[in-house]
């Protein structure tokens, strides 16, 4: 069974896409937690960062570099932004497909909650 992210990547489900390349897709979160809240997902499925393997290091690097590119494109680099990767139920993971949240557009407190 496909995750919601796989269905967005295959265009079965519509999304507000803000960036795409061969390896990644970035789209606005349907339940934003900040004025700007974008998810960036690898097109190749890795369930979570805890399941990444050494051979995934290029994709993991592409994910972080892509997140920085998206943040710059959205103007978040001016004042800063937060990148979040959830892992497992206690970490807040709700979709078993590695993804990075890009949050910005307001001051973000710490701890995140």
Active site residues: 99
Among 97, 101, 111, 107, which residue's Cα sits nearest to residue 42?
97
Cα–Cα distance between 103 and 39 in angstroms, integer?
9
Paired with 27 in beta bridges are 17, 39
Residues contacting residue 91 through CB under 8 Å, at least 6 positions apart: none
């Amino acid at each position: 069974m496909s995750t919601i992210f796989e269905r967005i990547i295959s265009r079965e489900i519509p999304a507000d896409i803000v960036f795409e390349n061969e390896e990644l897709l970035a789209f606005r979160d349907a339940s934003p937690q900040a004025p700007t809240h974008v998810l960036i997902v690898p097109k190749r499925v890795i369930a979570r960062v805890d399941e990444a393997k050494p051979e995934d290091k290029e994709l993991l690097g592409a994910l972080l570099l892509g997140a920085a590119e998206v943040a710059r494109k959205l103007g978040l680099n001016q004042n800063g932004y937060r990148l979040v990767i959830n892992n497992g139920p206690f970490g807040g993971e709700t979709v078993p497909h590695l993804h990075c949240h890009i949050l910005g557009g307001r001051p973000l407190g710490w701890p995140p909650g």
